[in-house]
Structure 1
Amino acid sequence: MTATVAAPAPTAVARPAHRDPQVLRWLGAYTASTLGDSVYHLALSWAAVRGGTPAEAGLVMATSAVPRALLMLGGGVVADRFGPRRVVMASDTVRCLIVLGVAALVLVTAPTLWTLAGVALVFGIVDALFLPAVGALPPRIAPHDQLARVQGMRGLASRSGAVVGAPLGGLAVALGGPGAAFAVAGALFALSLPLLLALRIRPLTGEAQKRRHGTASGDLVDGLRYLRGHRVLGPLMIVIALSDLGFVGPLNVGLVLLADQRGWGASGIGWVLAAFGVGAGGASLLLSVKGRVPRAGAVLGWTMTVGALSIGALAFVPRLPAAVGVALSIGLFAGLSGALAGALVQTECDPAYLGRVSAVSSLMSLGLAPLSFPLTGAAIGLWGVGPVFTVSAAVCALAGVYGLASRGVRRAELPG
């Protein structure tokens, strides 16, 4: 595939991603936005629980999922047509304004569940724009041979946002109620804006620019056609879909039911999730430091296949310390395979199509895979934890085997 991003001047000195001011500004903005997202979700859930029944609170929290899934592919078209930085900035601006507005509302009155559901609905629409755009930014700010490092750094930022954001939101709620937590989330979204504004985006070449002037529906069809015909990206989307389908159910719904059966309690769930986070963060750190994993496609397939054994084993571990060790293993394997999949998407995709390709990838992970939650719960009720975790592990292993069987994915390499 011919490169479509303007090459840097011959005199430019390439810098590693962790020393590149462009990448660091992007990383700071992404981290602030991720933290704000975590704090916002905690504030929203707390306000919803205080304003209604647990079932009603669950409906409020689920409201954002529908527009996010329905509009994600369109968000990819918007990112490619108008440029990822503009879309990310617009997304965070909307987040900032609406969250600060809710914070002001909470100071004068208790928001109704309908108000909170409306906020969640807007956030779902914004996510459908934000996620493809943020995935399309790295190739426009970093050299091609640094994209794997950038992906690792993005993984670290995501883990940090999840680990730090929830306690930060909890502290804000404890000190000033949900209004204070909404205000903190809004301030974090606002912090990302000047960092995004300072980014210098490398323009697309004339050939890539031409691809951005069709109709919206034509752009979407063109992007899907490009993805289907790509020797690496087409099969890689199937790998990502299968791995997420087998992974998210057990590690969300299944873990809660498993902990309840084993008597581990809420603290046990916390220890297992913390171990998973440490393992996944370690894998992202490895990619950030190393920058390139030889035979990345083959390593991706093998880590998915071997990591599936750990997912299946979690259901048969009777004691919490052993479960924590297994979760650490799951995090390492899943974190490395996920980071490699993201890095291959970044490096294999023509930048003119990256918004649409990122939209498809995000739709698999955040739009379709969560649909397995109720199915996982119902299956565990019928057949128990062990069989369901075993089937889920088999689906994850199938993802790895499919990746190894695909010549394009198996032979894919990261630049370096």
Structure 2
Amino acid sequence: MAYPPLRERSFRLLFLGQSLSLVGDAVVPAALALAVLRATGSTSALALVLGCVMVPRLLLLPLGGVVADRFNARTVALTTDLVRCAAQLCVGVQLLGGSPRLWQIAVAEAIGGAGSAFAMPSLPRLITGSVPDSQRQAANSALGVVKSATGLGGPALAGALILTVGPGWAFVLDAVSFAASAALTAAMRVVHVPVPRGSLRVDLVEGWQEVRNRDWYWTSLLAHATWNGAAAVLMTLGPALAVQRLGGEHTWVAILQAGAVGLLLGSLLAGRARLTHPVLVANLGLATYALPLALFAAGAPAAAVITAYGVALAGLGFLNPVWETTVQAVIPPDVLARVTSYDWLLSLAAMPLGYVVAPLAASAWGPQAPLWAASIAVGLACAGTAAAPGVRRFTVAAAAPARETEGQGAAGSMAGTTRT
């Protein structure tokens, strides 16, 4: 086998379940955007629904990290799969019924977003509980490859569903994928390492201290948050601009498809990279997201926007495995889920702001203004991390001794991470 961890039965089940759920998830972004636009014709309505996904996720992520550390990750993952299955099925039924109500879609997506707040921190614990230490890097690599591959095919599948049978079937497909993932997760055997339980406040503080004590970490997370805020602006305004000015719905699907190709290529490149300063290089790659934002704002031709978006998502694809590998090498493993939850929380915190501000600013000054502002902000924030000594000087080799010391002194804590 290409990946030795796949010889482990439990990891094979996890790999297959994640693959199926990732296929389902990959069709949803385009389907959700175009379904809401078809139903309402309003970017504000789309911003509302996207915000309903994001806000519960952000509010519950720290709690999700504590739960994933305290309880068996298999139970947490199984429960969240079933919750998200029900939420996506509800949206699919609404759309297939022909008279979707915005509030019902928003509530269902909010429930799904809440479920993801517990699912995201539980994944690293599933990996560490199903494969031995020596195979963990290969396990993460296998999951990264399938994530990029499903992202590559997802927009094309979404486009086929949307343009033929309608976006409702995309949500039904996602619901079925979560149900299949739940069944496979139920068949897993996951080693659960119990940890000393303190109060909820103590658990939250311990996880936060692991982030706060590393300047390269929180400086990078500020840049990642800016990137996600800019992405929210583009996801809110981009579909309507693509439909109205760049040729129609198929153009938006093509933009997302180019992004998926870039994400895969960036992930493959990261697998071959041997970097002395991984955090700095990865953050500079994120700065390329300024380009598609600027081209959208400038009214550039569709081909230029599509190409630029592919390049920008290659930067994201490169950052994801580089960041994950770096953090896993430095952060004490006994605080895995909590640091993961704070990583996600800080990285994604600006997205609701982008969803809210983008349509308001577009109504007041036109869509070009928020797109230009987002382009400048993401370029300065991501490239600007080079000015931070902690980022500029960081190397894994230099940080490794600190990891050993902290790991010995943090007996009974927990941590880890993942990305934008």
- Range of TM-score over shorter length: 0.7 to 0.9
Q: Give the one of 386, 389, 395 matched to 2:375.
A: 389
Q: Give the one of 157, 176, 185 matched to 1:187.
A: 176
State the TM-score, normalized to the length of structure 1. Answer: 0.76
Count of residues in correspondence between the two structures: 389
Match of 1:5 in 2: none
> 1:103, 1:50 → 2: CA distance?
14
> 2:397, 2:371 → 1: CA distance?
33
List aligned pairs for 1:125-136, cutoff 5 A.
125-136=114-125
Match of 1:315 in 2: 294
8 Å CA contact retained: 2:266, 2:314: yes
> Residue type matched to 1:282 in 2?
L
Relative distance call for 1:104 and 1:278 in structure 2 (3 A) is closer
List aligned pairs for 1:391-406, cutoff 5 A.
391-402=377-388, 404-406=391-393
> 2:106, 2:264 → 1: CA distance?
33
> 1:215, 1:88 → 2: CA distance?
23
8 Å CA contact retained: 2:270, 2:319: no
8 Å CA contact retained: 1:43, 1:181: yes
8 Å CA contact retained: 1:258, 1:385: no
Match of 1:153 in 2: 142
Match of 1:3 in 2: none
> 1:308, 1:99 → 2: CA distance?
33
Match of 2:267 in 1: 284
Relative distance call for 1:23 and 1:118 in structure 2 (3 A) is same
Task: Give the aligned CA root-mean-square deviation in angstroms.
Answer: 4.1
Residue deviations 1:262-298 (CA, integer Å, cap 9, x gap): 964455555554333323212323455x5xx5346x1
> Residue type matched to 2:284 in 1?
T
What is the CA distance between 1:357 and its match in structure 2?
Answer: 0.9
What is the CA distance between 1:302 and its match in structure 2?
Answer: 2.2
List aligned pairs for 1:156-305, cutoff 5 A.
156-172=145-161, 177=166, 180-204=169-193, 209-211=194-196, 213-229=197-213, 231=214, 235-246=216-227, 248-249=229-230, 252-253=233-234, 256=238, 264-266=246-248, 270-287=253-270, 290=272, 293-295=273-275, 298-305=277-284
8 Å CA contact retained: 1:249, 1:370: no
Between 218-227 and 104-113, the greater mean CA deviation after superposition = 104-113
Percent of pairs with identical residues: 26
2:95 corresponds to 1:112: no
> 1:149, 1:237 → 2: CA distance?
27
What is the CA distance between 1:78 and its match in structure 2?
Answer: 0.9
> Residue type matched to 1:72 in 2?
L
> Residue type matched to 2:332 in 1?
D
8 Å CA contact retained: 1:155, 1:339: yes
Relative distance call for 1:153 and 1:56 in structure 2 (3 A) is same
Between 153-162 and 245-254, the greater mean CA deviation after superposition = 245-254
Relative distance call for 1:187 and 1:47 in structure 2 (3 A) is same
SS in 2 for 1:137: helix
What is the CA distance between 1:395 and its match in structure 2?
Answer: 0.9
Gaps of 5+ in 2: 404-420
